[in-house]
A = this chain, B = another copy of it.
Amino acid sequence: MIIVLKPGTQQEEIQKLTKQLEAKGVSVNPVIGTDLSILGLVGDTSKIDPTQVEANRNVERVMHVAEPFKKANRMFHPEDTVVEVRGRKIGGKELTIIAGPCSVESEEQIIAIAQEVKAKGATLLRGGAFKPRTSPYAFQGLKYDGLELLKKAREATGLPIVTEIMAPQDIEVFERDVDVIQVGARNMQNFTLLSELGRTRKPILLKRGLSATIEEWLMSAEYIMAEGNDQVILCERGIRTFETYTRNTLDLSAIPAIKKLSHLPVIVDPSHATGKWWMVEPLAKGAVAVGADGLIVEVHNDPQNALCDGQQSIKPCVFGELMQDIAPIATAVGREMAL
């Protein structure tokens, strides 16, 4: 940690601050010049809250040099984390392909889609039961009934199921019924939810918040891991920018960044990132090429009548072509496809 002092800070004030910091067990190394007065802190700085130091009126800025996340940090866990879900490995050599509809609508729908995407190369099934919608008047999902239908689709196909949780009170049911629990972008900093999910032992798919920095995203993973659950899968799904042509701006640079900073697997959601079905294919290819561990793609058998997000859903036949188009790129970057 580096503390930059204001120009002209009195020697006496520097000593007072130094003593306070040393009391927390670190060694304080001053570098004092006419235009630069800094304190370099060496040792275990984890007990020092930078915002508290910044409250000191002689302090210009506090810069942390080490990343604030520990358990999610590759530095302390150099090998890649591989999350196992009913025999499938997320974060290993095999590309993870999660596919399915925006929301579960009926037994026929979810089973039909599950069978089609499985046949074409999906390794997990997605489907929303609880839907976070901007409007209270929009379709909110089939809720618990949706979970039951997902279970039937799992039974019919063997595909593990991924679905989104919206509140802590549902954790018990999700822990029992769901294979991978998804935390949506809007809940990425719902810290109570994160902590409580950290006390389960289920894999968590943590989507990046709409305006979350990479560091904040990893801090949210840390919230889950701090409670003992290290089965976290990250998911880039686009960030909010000034561009309005696409719903969000897919940040593919986040993939190599995460790979450098963390050992956690990271997948990409091209459907939500762009909000346009015809953009899914090129961006899915791009995601595999930059090194993502997998994709999560919205597939619907009848997008025009989908109860939500039909404009970004592709049909099963298009999904099939996508899988074939992706295969040589996967090979080029050293990955394998399930089929």
Interface string of A248-285 (1 = CB under 8 A from B): 01111111110010000000000001100011001101
Q: Is A9 an interface residue (CB 8 A)?
A: no
Q: Is A244 an interface residue (CB 8 A)?
A: yes
Contact indicator B219/A245 (Cβ below 8 Å): no
| Main SS class of interface, A | mixed
CA distance A169 to B196 in the complex (A): 12
Query: Which of the residues B190, B279, B286 comes within 8 Å of A186, measured between beta carbons?
Result: B190
CB distance from A325 to the nearest CB of B (A): 8
Copies of this protein chain in the complex: 4
Residues on A lying within 8 angstroms of B by beta carbon are 1-2, 4, 7, 27, 29, 31-36, 38, 40-43, 45-46, 49, 51-52, 54-57, 60, 63, 65-66, 68, 75, 132-139, 166-169, 186-187, 189-193, 195, 210-211, 213-216, 219, 222-223, 226-227, 239-246, 249-257, 260, 273-274, 278-279, 282-283, 285-291, 303-311, 313, 325, 328-329, 331-333
Q: 5 additional contacts, CB 8 Å, given A49-B139, A68-B134, A253-B273?
A: A4-B65, A33-B40, A52-B308, A167-B193, A168-B169
13 contacts between A and B (CB under 8 A): A31-B42, A34-B43, A49-B308, A55-B303, A55-B304, A56-B310, A133-B191, A167-B167, A239-B242, A240-B242, A241-B249, A256-B278, A329-B332
